Amino acid sequence: MHTMTFRLLVAAGLFMSALAARAQQPASPAPAKRSLPPIPGLGPEPVLPANPTAAQLAEHKRLLAERTRIRWNYILTDSLMRARTLNEKPNALLVETVQGLEPGTALDADMGEGRNAIYLAQMGWQVTGVDVAEKALAYAQARAKKLGVPLTTEVADMAKYDWGTNKWDLIVLSYAGGRDYAAHVKKALKPGGIVVLEAFHMDATEKIQVVDGDYRVFFKTDELPKLYQAAGLKIVRYEEPIGTADFTKQQLRLVKMVAQKPQ
């Protein structure tokens, strides 16, 4: 046999045996997603029956809302959970954005334990923080008092809250969602006012658990600028970087947006 033909046959044989060996190897398991440890007082996730009635749907929604309140009260006030999940510093996009701005009125929607609201109050902003988790708000109030800064807090569901009209110079949506808030934000900002939003990109669901099937803080590529532009805001800044999220220590794909209500 010609030497060149022989070499080609050997190379093809080696390639085929490598392929066969690879096919026999078990597929490497997908990396485990980060999930939360058990939370005291939080029962199993409620199951919606097939073909639910309106009453069953309403009860399911109520139970999920109650789970949100219990979960965040615990995560945001328990010292171990805080250390495990939370960046206790104010959100970096917010800090960059307000640098050099004249302080005014600010609404921190889904405020949590107040890291952003207290930062703004320290910078001279008049801040109202709203959240369903009453213990997180009490935590924020105690810290604001200790630091000697004024902070208004309200226990409320942002979906039912009166956001007001031309009321705020700044609205903060930090890991708060924003898919259902665009029209409220447009109406509630003063002309020239800005909204600062940071959350997870949908890609992050490959690495972290989506609790109770709630995708409110996960966004598809370009979903947010399209939504807020359609609501009548000007997109000042929009990025989808890989970075350390404020609510995990992992490197994940994030969404960051600053948008402004026209004058």
Q: Which residues bind ligand SAM (CB under 6 A)?
A: 68, 72, 76, 91, 110-112, 115-116, 130-133, 136, 157-159, 174-176, 246-247
* Distance in angstroms (rounded) separating the CA atoms of residues 77 and 89: 15
Cβ-contact 152, 118 below 8 angstroms: no
Q: How far is the CB of 133 from ligand SAM (least distance, A)?
A: 4
Question: Measured from the CB atom, is 176 or 188 closer to ligand SAM?
Answer: 176
Task: Output 119-123 pairs: Cβ under 8 A, ≥24 positions apart.
Answer: 119/90, 119/94, 119/95, 120/90, 120/94, 120/170, 120/172, 121/149, 121/150, 121/151, 122/147, 122/149, 123/98
Question: Measured from the CB atom, is 120 or 189 closer to ligand SAM?
Answer: 120
Q: How far is the CB of 241 from ligand SAM (least distance, A)?
A: 17
* Distance in angstroms (rounded) separating the CA atoms of residues 143 and 7: 76
Question: Measured from the CB atom, is 157 or 239 closer to ligand SAM?
Answer: 157
Question: Measured from the CB atom, is 72 or 219 closer to ligand SAM?
Answer: 72
> From residue 237, how far is each of 71, 234, 259 by CA, in Å?
32, 9, 7
Q: How far is the CB of 179 from ligand SAM (least distance, A)?
A: 12
Question: Measured from the CB atom, is 9 or 157 closer to ligand SAM?
Answer: 157
Closest residue to ligand SAM, based on beta-carbon distance = 112
Q: How far is the CB of 137 from ligand SAM (least distance, A)?
A: 9
Q: How far is the CB of 108 from ligand SAM (least distance, A)?
A: 7
What are the backbone dihedrals phi and psi of residue 200, each rounded to the nearest 5 degrees, phi first? Answer: -95, 145
* Distance in angstroms (rounded) separating the CA atoms of residues 54 and 57: 5
CB neighbours of 116 closer than 8 A, spacing ≥ 6? 90, 91, 94, 108, 172, 174
Question: Measured from the CB atom, is 123 or 229 closer to ligand SAM?
Answer: 123
Q: How far is the CB of 113 from ligand SAM (least distance, A)?
A: 6
